[in-house]
Amino acid sequence: MLRIAVPSVLQQSTVSIGMMIVQAVVNPFGTQALAGYAATMRVENVFSLIFVSIGNAVSPYVSQNLGAKKIDRIKKGYHAALVLNLCFAVIAFVTIEALHTQISSLFLGKDGTALPIRCPVII
């Protein structure tokens, strides 16, 4: 159990510490930068849900096939999940690149003061 838990804990801890470091770097730039960063994080969270969901779907699939000792099915499922993630990553990238201003306007006020700060962060 520790063999599985320790890498997961390390990964989540690294991500959390990284987010705290980025937040500490953004904070001195003021409220406009914080608003832009917050909008960027919301967009990132929406798109990352796709990848998390695929991972959550693959986990029981792999577990059941591991219990049934069907390693070939695990490999096929793993590769299918990788291809699906790659496809969604390309779609997410193209969508964000093409519509970054429109996406930002969903999360920011009508004055748009944080737009110029946010755009380089997403791109």
> How wide is the angle at C-alpha 90 spanned by C-alphas 57 and 17, nearest 5°?
65
> How wide is the angle at C-alpha 52 spanned by C-alphas 11 and 108, nearest 5°?
100
Cα 76 to chain centroid distance, Å, stands at 24
Helical H segments across the chain, by residue range: 2-26, 31-67, 71-107, 115-122
pTM exceeding the 0.95 threshold for the entire prediction: no
Residue 123, pLDDT score: 46
Residue 36, pLDDT score: 78
Q: Which long-range contacts (CB under 8 A, 24 or more apart) does 104-107 make?
A: 104/39, 104/43, 107/38, 107/39, 107/42, 107/43
* Spans of the chain, pLDDT less than 70: 108-123
Residue 116, pLDDT score: 52
CA atoms within 13 A on the CB side of 104: 23
Residue 73, pLDDT score: 95
Q: Where are the domains of the chain?
A: 30-122
